[in-house]
Structure 1
Amino acid sequence: MDGRDGTLVETGAEAEGDLATLSVCVTCRRADAPPGDRRPGAAMLDALSGGPAPEGVRIRAVECLSACSNGCAVALSAPGRWTYVYGNLDPARDAPDILAGAAAYAATPDGLIPWRERPLVLRRNAIARVPPL
């Protein structure tokens, strides 16, 4: 979904198999944001999908990650891997590091990126880590 007309937006490799998925909440915004302002999540989606997605990663818009009080939020997930939710992100500043983190995540067999190899924004802004099913 792109948050405007309900359609699913996916970029990167085909959405199948064990691709990593970078889900971008397009409805969240900071509590202090004026009601008429463009949602930061929509800007984040634009920033992340403006070029090619990292190998093995698809990018999709989602309506809500239930991280509303944490501003702009994204999630990284893949079959059989840990899932991570990150918040308090800035579209203009953090998009390149989020894409780098998504590439590192896609290259792991279990979703566990070694701490020192994670981009700083992912080390500092984790909201949740969910075990694989």
Structure 2
Amino acid sequence: MTVTLHVCITCRAGRTLMEGETAPGARLHSAILEAGVPEGVNVVPVECLSACSQGCSIALSGPRRWSYVYGRLSDASAPDVVAGAAAYAAAPDGIVPWRSRPEIFRKQSLARIPPIAAVPEASE
């Protein structure tokens, strides 16, 4: 089953950018693509994850899985993001054992969101 890795490409990591400078979030997105997207992971650039005060951020989500938001990332984090995304894709419920997570996924989690429960049909 495919999971989604959202990457905030507009993130400025708390900085004012110089004219023509590439946003740190866009550099992170490029570095993730260059590192090689794991099988079962769909990388989607997004304009904002509303974690602006936390540096570059990503989110991992998938059907019937816990979702996660991670922050304080940079383009140097790309190999760990790719490894973490692969482990997330391999976990049926999105919960990767603590010791199997890259360090940034252990220490830089901003949010953990439960799976959306199936909504029962309204009775008539």
Report the TM-score range of the alignment, normalised by the length of the smaller protein: 0.7 to 0.9
The correspondence for 1:59, drawn from 32, 43, 46, is 43
**Higher helix fraction (1 or 2):** 2
What are the residue-to-residue correspondences of 1:5-84 with 2, within 5 Å? Answer: 18-36=1-19, 37-84=21-68
Q: Is the 2:59–2:67 contact (alpha carbons within 8 Å) kept by the matching residues of 1?
A: yes
Bigger CA drift: 95-104 or 22-31? 22-31
Which residue identity is paired with 1:82?
Answer: W
Which residues of structure 1 form unaligned runs of 5+?
A: 1-17
Is 2:72 the partner of 1:88?
yes
How many residues were matched structurally? 115
Which residue identity is paired with 1:76?
Answer: L
Which residues of structure 2 form unaligned runs of 5+?
A: 117-124
Structure number with bigger Rg: 2
- Residue 90 of structure 1, CA deviation: 1.4
Q: Is the 2:6–2:46 contact (alpha carbons within 8 Å) kept by the matching residues of 1?
A: yes
Normalising to structure 1: TM-score of the pair?
A: 0.82
Residue 4 (structure 1) aligns with: none
Distance in 2 separating the partners of 1:51 and 1:30: 21
Q: Deviations over 1:80-112 (max 9, x none)?
A: 100000000011x21001000000000011000
Give the aligned CA root-mean-square deviation in angstroms.
Answer: 1.2
Distance in 1 separating the partners of 2:45 and 2:9: 6
The correspondence for 2:81, drawn from 66, 83, 98, is 98
Q: Is the 2:58–2:69 contact (alpha carbons within 8 Å) kept by the matching residues of 1?
A: yes
Residue 131 (structure 1) aligns with: 114
Which residue identity is paired with 1:101?
Answer: G
Is 2:95 the partner of 1:112?
yes
Residue 5 (structure 1) aligns with: none
